[in-house]
Amino acid sequence: MGPAIFERPHRGSWCLMLIATLLLGCGDATPFPAERSVVDLGGRPVDPLASTPRATVLVFTTPACPIANRYAPEITRLHERFASDGVRFWLVYADPADDAAAVATHHAAYEFPFAAVRDPEHVLVERTGATVTPEVAVFDPHGRMLYRGRIDDRFVAFGRTRPTPTKRDLEDVLDAIVHDRPITARTTEAIGCFIP
Amino acid sequence: MLHPVNVLTPIALAAACTTTPLRDDVTFNRDIAPIVFAHCAVCHRPGESAPFSLLTYDDVRRRARQIGIVTRQRYMPPWLPDPAVSDFAGVRRLSDDELDRIATWIANGTPEGDPADLPPPPQWTEGWQLGEPDLIVTAPEAFTVPADGVDVFRNLVIPLPVSTTRFVRAVELRPGNPAVVHHAIMQVDRTGSVRRLDTAEPGPGFAGMGMGRSEPPDGHFLGWTPGKLPRPGRDDIAWRLDPGTDLVLQLHMLPTGKPETIRPSIGFFFADRPPARRPFVITLRNDLIDIPAGAEAHVVRDRFTLPVDVEVLGVYPHAHYLGRELKAFATMPGGERAWIIHIPAWNFDWQDEYQFARPLRLPAGATIEIEYTYDNSAGNVRNPSHPPRRVRFGNQSSDEMATLALQVLTETEADRATLAAADERKTSTGLIAYARRHLEDAPDSAIAYELIGTAERTLGRPEQAIAAFQRAVELRPDFVDALINLGNVLGESNRHSEAIAVLRRALTHEPDAPDIHANLGVALGAVGRPEEAMASLRHALQLEPNHVGALYNLGSTLAATGRSAEAVAVLERVIALQPDHIDALNNLGVSLAASGREEAALQAYRRAIEFAPDRVVGHFNLGNGLLAAGNPGDAVRSFRDAVRVDPGHARAHASLGLALRQTGKLASAIDAMMRAAELAPTDAVIHHELGRTLLASRRASEARETLERAVERQPNNVAMRNDLAIAAMLTGDLDAAGRTLEAALALDPDATDTHGNLGLVRAQQDRPGDSITHYRRALEREPDRLACLRGLAWILATSSETRWRDPAEALALAQRAAELTRFGNPAIMDTLAAALAANGDFDRAVQAAEHAATIATRAGNRPLAEIIETRLTSYRKGRPHREP
């Protein structure tokens, strides 16, 4: 049995997704080796993209990243705003060095109101092309990645921070999705801690 | 044999040096670990402020990409000053060579290298870095930083529980939660201002970048930045910590994404002696900042010319989020310019205080200047306002500041005072300008008027200060700070009744403020209401038992109202709290002396002198104590010290005169007293003593003139009139003497001195009847008064009129006087001889007269001896003496 991620119900859209990621220029078109897996906090394999009501947001994070941590309240706020519109949030712990216990502690400490997965083998990292934390990737129900990049423009560079963001990229994308406005897939550069 | 040419050839050697950092076999163990251990691990280790550890090869390899970027951007390790222009201690900046090594190592795939090359890992002291502190204080309550939002500035107020004055060598802050704290500064407050701010706001401490009226203690910066090890400090410049001082700790914190609690502890390390020198903090600041919206390079300046030579120890530049480039330099008297600090790319988040590796010497006349550039455009991502708005001076993070604090040492304490006065003038003048401009926009700003009042008071213009404070409380009747300051400046201007009214008004708003009760007590004391004063002071002490000011004033009021024993007890408490409280030591001495503990009093004065050898009061009191203890010789030395430190102190000159008179140096005594009289032309007591000393020197007419001035000033003083009468008598003006004494008698009809002197004057005026009356009145009150015994005996023995003569009584009186003086006073023996002769006992009369002549001669009183010789001739012939 292969990992759950291959048993996706939207096989038909696989090609489209590949095109999308190729357009983004960051995708990894090669099939995942069988032994790699994404696991939930109990260690069970899980595919966050297996079922997407309206959109799925992957939020890449690492417990040791202060920039990612500072976004916990903002992510929580966005979850509160969009969860009832069928937007599903997943926290993706991307540092293989963080074991299940460390991740569970962090998840509880920041009171994230949605589920988390560990991506020790960088399955999702490679699929999305995420390089830092915090970085988000938004998928549609067909598994197409519509957006990957920063949450907002609060962090301009290391040590250069706006007091408040002037552009809320993630919120704008989700807003368009839930209001059925057409969107073009795009990426932005996220500022944060490189995923080890 | 190994490549001798390479080693010996200078060119090859030079090439080897420059290529070392660029070689491509860079390894972690040999090249990278030393950099990481020295520059990163101080924060990047468990329990410290950085988010992850950098202690092993694996730690560093995994984050190599990040490390490469943040070091290349010089975001890490954080260090703002340009290293090319100033030489600071503890530089954290990486050299270009080190950056190259890191870049090469990453480019080469982060090789680990030979384990033998790995330096030993750095060792850290756990807990307090400077050892076990002498005093540890912890914030009374934990503060919670919210999960989200902008930077948080919180000021925690922590009373410092010292029971006596201490001197602080070093301070170490343990934030308790280093991940949250970005930066912290500490100041001290002895005015209660931060306590009031704390009380006024819910939760621990108070918000904002303002720190009330607190100050850096005795010119010390107390700062904390992540990774900066506390400095061990220096005993010789330790700062003074008095009981009743509050510490205010300003924490600049960043939300972390979850609520964080923080409860910092602070350790104090004491010096074992008072400091030899005190640093001073010079502040350059421009509060008239006005940056137009959109300005990309707005320049703000300020300057200060040094009145004395200084050594700059440290520097603390400060601006907020619009700051772009900060420059500070000094222009020498000769025109040459020297950098103090240059921060090419200011970042508020990494503000710090920098200590020079070697103190920077700046001469008197050098002008220190700041030139700060601000970016208020939308292009400045840190701009708190979008779109940009006009920005002016203020404490909020959306306002701006332009400040440069310089920690300096002066050569002498006098230089420090000169510098402090110049700095205060500059600061106060700046404050007034700022407040006046603020009033243009907000004419009813009570705070602006309060600022003006405070500044005017500092500038020594109490009238202007009073007017400004009055306006402030008109605008805001419940403005307690303004009421307190108004009360205090009224008190300083001797307008105590108004001060009392104002302070009572302040109490209606803050009935439990110990300072207000204490100040009210002082004002009540000043208007001669000691009982109410003490009630107020005791009220203050109920609220704050160790309030030094209240204790001192209570003790002094007790002393002034004659309750010496209670005064001693209270003043001893002041000394226990603050051993070098000079005024308390002096008043303690006075109270001890009044309680009959002269030796302890002298000790108190000596301690006061030890702490403040340049203050006249200790020397003056010690001299008086010594004089009272019958030691005029040492008293002379003390009074000489007193007039040396304060040549204008009239009473000290006068007391010097008294002490000299007691050591028999009449001429020097008169010189000292004349100086005193010149300095205090209206001081009756000084003129009286001068007159007495002139009398003792037989300079009767000068004495008379001087004493006349004393009597003019104090017409009701009986003793002065008596001395004036003696002077008049000695100048031969018996009528004037008689009139003066009659006037004295009108003031006090029973005074022994006056009756005795009148007896003498009347006798000389040939009015024996009146003379006898006065002598008898004097002897009724003082039967052993020698001059009266003698004077009366003489008339009764020698009067030419029979009706006044009474030889038996004369003999009894003379005999009594002679016994009292042990037959050793020539004038009394002369009188005894006359009385014996009047009784017909010529043999014993001759005997007594011969003895009188001998002792008169021996005492050098030739004229008296000669007179006695002529009377002796009569006695030998069996004839008594008769006045003509």
ipTM of the complex: 0.79
**What total number of domains does chain A contain?**
1
- Does the distance separating the beta carbons of B179 and A164 come in below 8 Å? no
- Summarize pLDDT for B437-448 with one digit per residue, the tens: 999 999 999 999
Question: How many whole angstroms separate alpha carbon B114 and alpha carbon B103?
Answer: 19
Average pLDDT (B350-377) is 95
**How far is it, in rounded angstroms, from Cα B284 to Cα B306?**
12
**C-alpha torsion angle, residues B540, B542, B544, B550 (rounded to 10):** 40
User: Which chain B residues touch A69 with a CB distance below 8 Å?
Assistant: 256-258
Whether B135-279 shares its CATH topology with B792-884 is answered no
Query: Which residues are CB-neighbours of B548 under 8 A, at least 6 positions away?
Result: B242, B243, B244, B574, B577, B578, B581
- Cα Rg, chain A, nearest whole Å: 16
DSSP at B257: S
- Which tokens in the block code for residue A158? 């290391």
Chain A nearest-CA residue for B180: A66
Of A162, A164, A194, the CB nearest to B66: A194
pLDDT of residue B179: 82
Taking CB atoms and an 8 Å limit, are B52 and A166 in contact across chains? no
Yes or no, beta carbons of B381 and A162 under 8 Å apart: yes
Tell me the count of A-B CB pairs closer than 8 A.
68
CB A65 within 8 A of CB A192: yes
**Would you tell me the crossing angle of helices A72-82 and A169-178 to the nearest 10 degrees?**
10
Are the beta carbons of B62 and A97 separated by less than 8 Å? Answer: yes
The answer to whether residue A178 is domain-embedded is yes
Looking at residues B269-282, what average pLDDT do you find?
Answer: 92
Looking at residue B23, its pLDDT comes to 57
- With 90 as the cut, is the pLDDT of residue B404 above it? yes
Query: What's the CATH number for B792-884?
Result: 1.25.40
Cβ contact B179–A166 (<8 Å): no
pLDDT at B81 over 50: yes
Measured from the Cβ of residue A63, the count of other Cβ atoms closer than 10 Å reads: 20
Q: Considering only CB atoms, which residues of chain A are within 8 Å of chain B?
A: 64-66, 68-74, 97, 109-111, 156-164, 166, 193-194, 196
Round to whole Å and give the CA distance between B796 and B807. Answer: 6
Instruction: Looking at the complex, report in whole angstroms how far the Cα of residue A11 sits from the nearest Cα belonging to chain B.
Output: 35
Confidence band of A42 (pLDDT split at 50, 70, 90): confident
Mean pLDDT of B736-744: 94
- Asked whether the beta carbons of A65 and A56 are under 8 A apart, the reply is no
Q: Which is higher by pLDDT, A162 or B15?
A: A162
CA distance B220 to B275: 13
Task: Mutate one of B66, B183, B399 to test the A interface: name it (highest A CB count within 10 A).
Answer: B66
Does residue B823 contact residue B829 with C-beta atoms inside 8 Å?
A: yes
Mutate to test the interface with B, among A154, A193, A195 (most CBs of B within 10 A): A193
pLDDT band at B301 (very low <50, low <70, confident <90, very high): very high
**What is the pairing mode between strands A132-133 and A193-194?**
antiparallel
In chain B, whose CA is at the least distance from the CA of A154?
B381
Q: What is the pLDDT of residue B397?
A: 80
What is the rounded average pLDDT for all residues in chain A?
A: 84
- DSSP at B402: -
Task: Enumerate the residues of chain A whose CB falls inside 8 A of the CB of residue B75.
Answer: 157-159
d(CA A92, CA B653): 89
Contacts of B200 (CB under 8 A, 6+ apart): B206
Give the chain A residue whose CA is nearest to the CA of B150. Answer: A163
Over range B564-583, report the average pLDDT. Answer: 94
Closest C-alpha among B198, B380, B220 to residue B298 = B380
**Does B125 score more than 90 pLDDT?**
no
Among A110, A163, A164, the residue with its CB nearest the CB of B257 is A110
With contacts defined as CB-CB under 8 Å, which chain A residues touch B388? none
pLDDT over 90 (residue B854): yes
pLDDT for residue A26 is more than 50: no
Lowest-confidence segment of B208-222, B267-281, B672-686 by average pLDDT: B208-222
Q: Taking the domain B135-279, which CATH number applies?
A: 2.60.120.310
- Please write the tens of the pLDDT for every residue from A106-139: 999 999 999 999 999 999 999 999 999 999 999 9
The answer to whether residue A107 is domain-embedded is: yes
Distance from CA of B356 to the nearest CA of A (A): 26
| Distance of alpha carbon B794 from alpha carbon B780, whole angstroms | 18
- CA of A54: how far to CAs of A115, A130, A147, B171, B539, in Å? 17, 22, 14, 58, 72
CA distance A157 to chain B (A): 9
Residue among A142, A181, A139, A186 at smallest CA distance from A167:
A186
Give the domain range for residue A162.
51-194
Q: B382 to chain A: which residues are within 8 Å by CB?
A: 160-163
Q: Which residue of B has its CA nearest to A76?
A: B257
Nearest CA in chain B to A109: B258
The domain locations on chain B are 13-117, 135-279, 419-511, 681-783, 792-884
Q: Which of B136-153 are b and which e, b meaning 16 or more Cβ less than 10 Å from the residue's Cβ?
A: ebebeeebebebbeebbb
Residue A44 in any domain: the answer is no
pLDDT at residue B24 greater than cutoff 90: no
Q: Which CATH superfamily is domain B419-511 in?
A: Tetratricopeptide repeat domain (1.25.40.10)
CA nearest A96 in B: which residue? B62
Name the token pair of B508: 């209606």
- B876 pLDDT exceeds 80? yes
Second CATH level (architecture) for the domain B681-783:
Alpha Horseshoe (1.25)
Please, which pLDDT band fits residue B485 given cuts at 50, 70 and 90?
Answer: very high
Q: CATH number of the domain that A85 lies in?
A: 3.40.30.10
- Tell me, yes or no, whether A27 lies in a domain: no
A26 in a domain, yes or no? no
Q: Do A194 and B256 touch (CB under 8 A)?
A: no
Residue A1 lies in a domain: no
What is the nearest CA distance from A110 to chain B, expressed in angstroms? 5
User: CA B101, CA B266: separation in Å to the nearest integer?
Assistant: 39
β-pairing, B246-253 with B152-159?
Answer: antiparallel
What pLDDT, on the 0 to 100 scale, is given for residue B419?
A: 97
- Name chain A contacts of B383, Cβ cutoff 8 Å: 163
Q: Report chain B residues touching chain A, CB-CB < 8 A.
A: 51-52, 62-63, 65-66, 69-70, 73, 75-76, 78, 147-148, 150, 179, 254-258, 321, 347, 349-350, 381-384, 386, 397
How many Å lie between the alpha carbon of B66 and the closest alpha carbon of chain A? 6
DSSP designation for B128: -
What value does the mean pLDDT take over residues B762-768? 92
The mean pLDDT of chain B is: 92
**Quick check: B257 and A70 CB within 8 A?**
yes
Strand partners, B145: B260
Query: For residue B532, what pLDDT band results from cuts at 50, 70 and 90?
Result: very high
Average pLDDT over residues B469-492: 94
